[in-house]
């Protein structure tokens, strides 16, 4: 592949939008026949919330990840092209990376594969972050929670979202497979185009679509493979499954997905600007994109993701069918809350601000909470979830058990005598949810360079 021939191109394969979510083997094999120069896969997301990062557990089942990885690894080794997997284990912390590393070793053993592997670590050293914080080199994005040294100490883990540079460096070391911790969704797809001097805007725009697999097709059936061909002033992209197709609108629309701004996408070294991008159909399944631009950043920045323990939860689910209760539901629940708070104080000594009691009312505003515009209750039944968050599981369950007893028998003026006003479907009525976490940082670091936060470790498999 010469840098200066007009026809030069790079073909990049994305087997699936999320490692472990699956793809059709037939699509993958069809893609391999087109001789991609590199296979990239984004294994990470914050879609499932803070649990994966906080608890150190991937979102996708181990068996599902192994199924995808086996096919991808065998394919990449068969056609001898680099395989780059980013944000291993959903959250891309050290424990997540090692889980995927272990699966890869297992597959290699079972299939008799050997190759040169790079592990790129993304979990951040807390002292490093404190140093950068003191230097004023950690800055908030919008909106951002408070971030200080105490937050760093409280965090279960904090990861940095690497750019494409550590991937490039690992490829330059001659590795055949890269397993990386938390990474920008586009980083693994941009590495090879970057090394061959393709336009950053073109490569980044293609990468942004590739990272979601078939999310950008007209009517997605299941997660599946997408192939992009990058040339000097445009890229072409489309699905491999003959039943799927991309249109100019489906590709243009994808810039909207899970992105606050439909035209600008911020990366460590700059911003993708698709304002002037032009989309045209190559045929009924492939789309050509031109005019995507890259605006280099003045300062190189790495986004942080962190999670801390919010407490332990126990929940109680119940239904209310009595129309007399339903017509005074808010008021009834306010009185129940006061009674529970009194009882908890009486038994445990805890004040209401030392634990959290959240009462969700499905049928009223259980789905939208504070954003719900419909204020009055309508309907013939409501589902209640009493959710207790406390410092230990035992305490949460103690409070939930007392909540059950107080709530189910709480009176209304219409009835005299003891009522049972909440239908509990389970015995025991409460369910222990375990530890619950919160995201606690939406900030960027200004490192000295693109590599200092992401050590590369070479391993022979």
User: Minimum CB separation from another protein for residue 29, in Å?
Assistant: 32
**Is residue 309 a contact point for another protein (CB under 8 A)?**
no
**Is residue 261 a contact point for another protein (CB under 8 A)?**
yes
Measured in whole angstroms, how far is the alpha carbon of residue 82 from the centre of its chain?
24
**Is residue 356 a contact point for another protein (CB under 8 A)?**
yes
**Is residue 351 a contact point for another protein (CB under 8 A)?**
no
Phi, psi of 362 (to 5 degrees): -80, 135
User: Minimum CB separation from another protein for residue 111, in Å?
Assistant: 36
H/E run at residue 53: helix 51-55
Stretch that binds another protein, among 10-18, 97-105, 225-233, 253-261 (CB under 8 A): 253-261
Please state, in angstroms and rounded to a whole number, the distance separating the CA atoms of residues 380 and 301: 53
The side-by-side arrangement of strands in the sheet containing 456-460 is 278-281, 287-290, 234-239, 226-230, 10-14, 38-44, 83-90, 177-180, 116-120, 456-460
Comparing CB distances to another protein, the nearer of 52 and 191 is 52
User: Minimum CB separation from another protein for residue 365, in Å?
Assistant: 8
Stretch that binds another protein, among 192-200, 273-281, 401-409, 421-429 (CB under 8 A): 273-281
User: Minimum CB separation from another protein for residue 265, in Å?
Assistant: 11
Please state, in angstroms and rounded to a whole number, the distance separating the CA atoms of residues 128 and 140: 17
What is the contact mask toward another protein in residues 88 to 127, using x (rule: CB under 8 A)?
----------------------------------------
Among 128, 263, 377, 451, binds another protein (CB under 8 A): 263
**Is residue 253 a contact point for another protein (CB under 8 A)?**
yes
Nearest by Cα to 44 from 63, 17, 24:
17
Comparing CB distances to another protein, the nearer of 229 and 255 is 255
HSE-CB at 125 with a 13 A cutoff on CA atoms is 8
Distances (CA, A) of 363 to 376, 380, 384: 10, 9, 9
The token pair at 38 is: 């590199």
Comparing CB distances to another protein, the nearer of 104 and 216 is 216
Among 436, 445, 453, 454, binds another protein (CB under 8 A): 436
What length does the chain have?
461
Comparing CB distances to another protein, the nearer of 299 and 367 is 367
Residues 6+ apart with CB under 8 A from 176: 76, 77, 82, 83, 115, 116, 117
DSSP per position, 220-251: --SS--EEEEE-SSEEEEEESSTT----HHHH
Q: Is 46 exposed, middle or buried (0-12, 13-18, 19+ CB in 10 A)?
A: middle
Stretch that binds another protein, among 21-29, 34-42, 142-150, 182-190 (CB under 8 A): 142-150
Among 62, 64, 128, 145, binds another protein (CB under 8 A): 145
Comparing CB distances to another protein, the nearer of 368 and 458 is 368
**Is residue 314 a contact point for another protein (CB under 8 A)?**
no
**Is residue 277 a contact point for another protein (CB under 8 A)?**
yes
Residue 183 DSSP class: B
Is the separation of the CB atoms in 88 and 96 below 8 Å?
yes
User: Minimum CB separation from another protein for residue 182, in Å?
Assistant: 13
Among 26, 35, 47, 409, binds another protein (CB under 8 A): 47
What is the contact mask toward another protein in residues 373 to 412, using x (rule: CB under 8 A)?
x-------------x-x-----------------------
**Is residue 360 a contact point for another protein (CB under 8 A)?**
yes
Among 67, 139, 220, 248, binds another protein (CB under 8 A): 248
Q: Is 190 exposed, middle or buried (0-12, 13-18, 19+ CB in 10 A)?
A: buried
State the CB neighbour count (10 A cutoff) for residue 4.
6
Using omega within 30 degrees of 0 as the cis cutoff, is the peptide bond preceding 143 cis? yes
**Is residue 221 a contact point for another protein (CB under 8 A)?**
no
H/E run at residue 86: strand 83-90
Q: Which residues form the interface with another protein (CB under 8 A)?
A: 46-51, 141-145, 248-249, 252-253, 255-263, 277-279, 310-311, 356, 358, 360, 365-371, 373, 387, 389, 436-439, 442
């Amino acid at each position: 592949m010469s840098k200066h021939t007009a026809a030069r191109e790079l073909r990049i394969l994305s087997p699936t939008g999320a490692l472990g979510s699956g793809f059709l083997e037939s699509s993958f094999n069809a893609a391999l026949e087109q001789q991609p120069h590199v296979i990239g896969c984004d294994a990470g997301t914050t879609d499932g919330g803070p649990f994966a990062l906080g608890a150190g557990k991937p979102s996708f089942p181990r068996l599902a990840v192994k199924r995808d990885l086996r096919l991808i690894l065998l394919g990449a080794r068969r056609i001898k092209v680099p395989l780059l997997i980013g944000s291993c284990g959903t959250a891309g912390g050290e424990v997540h990376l090692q889980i995927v590393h272990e699966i890869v070793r297992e597959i290699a053993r079972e299939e008799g594969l050997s190759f040169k592997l790079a592990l790129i670590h993304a979990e951040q050293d807390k002292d490093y972050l404190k140093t950068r914080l003191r230097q004023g080199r950690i800055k908030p994005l919008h909106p951002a929670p408070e971030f200080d040294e105490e937050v760093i100490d409280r965090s279960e883990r904090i990861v940095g979202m690497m750019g494409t540079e550590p991937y490039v460096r690992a490829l330059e070391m001659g590795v055949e497979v890269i397993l990386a911790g938390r990474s920008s969704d586009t980083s693994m797809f941009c590495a090879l185009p970057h090394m061959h001097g393709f336009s950053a805007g073109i490569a980044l725009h293609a990468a942004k679509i590739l990272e979601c697999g078939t999310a950008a097709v007209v009517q997605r059936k299941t997660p599946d493979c997408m192939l992009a061909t990058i040339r000097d002033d445009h890229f072409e992209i489309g699905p491999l499954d003959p039943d799927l197709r991309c249109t100019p609108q489906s590709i243009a629309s994808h810039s909207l997905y899970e992105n606050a701004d439909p035209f600008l996408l911020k990366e460590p070294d700059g911003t993708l600007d698709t304002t002037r991008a032009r989309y045209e159909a190559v045929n009924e399944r492939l789309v050509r994109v031109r005019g995507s631009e890259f605006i280099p950043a003045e300062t190189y920045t790495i986004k942080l993701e962190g999670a801390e323990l919010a407490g332990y939860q126990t929940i109680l689910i119940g239904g209310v069918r009595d129309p007399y209760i339903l017509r005074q539901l808010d008021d009834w629940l306010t009185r129940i809350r006061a009674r529970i708070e009194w009882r908890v104080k009486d038994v445990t000594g805890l004040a209401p601000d030392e634990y959290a009691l959240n009462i969700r009312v499905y049928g009223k505003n259980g789905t939208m909470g504070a954003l719900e515009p419909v204020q009055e209750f309508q309907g013939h039944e409501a589902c209640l979830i009493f959710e207790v968050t406390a410092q230990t599981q035992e305490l949460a369950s103690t409070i939930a058990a007392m909540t059950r007893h107080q709530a189910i028998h709480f009176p209304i003026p219409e009835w005299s005598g003891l009522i049972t006003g909440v239908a509990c479907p389970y015995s025991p009525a409460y369910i222990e949810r375990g530890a619950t976490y919160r995201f606690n940082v939406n900030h960027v670091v200004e490192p000295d360079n693109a590599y200092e936060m992401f050590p590369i470790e070479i391993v022979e498999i």
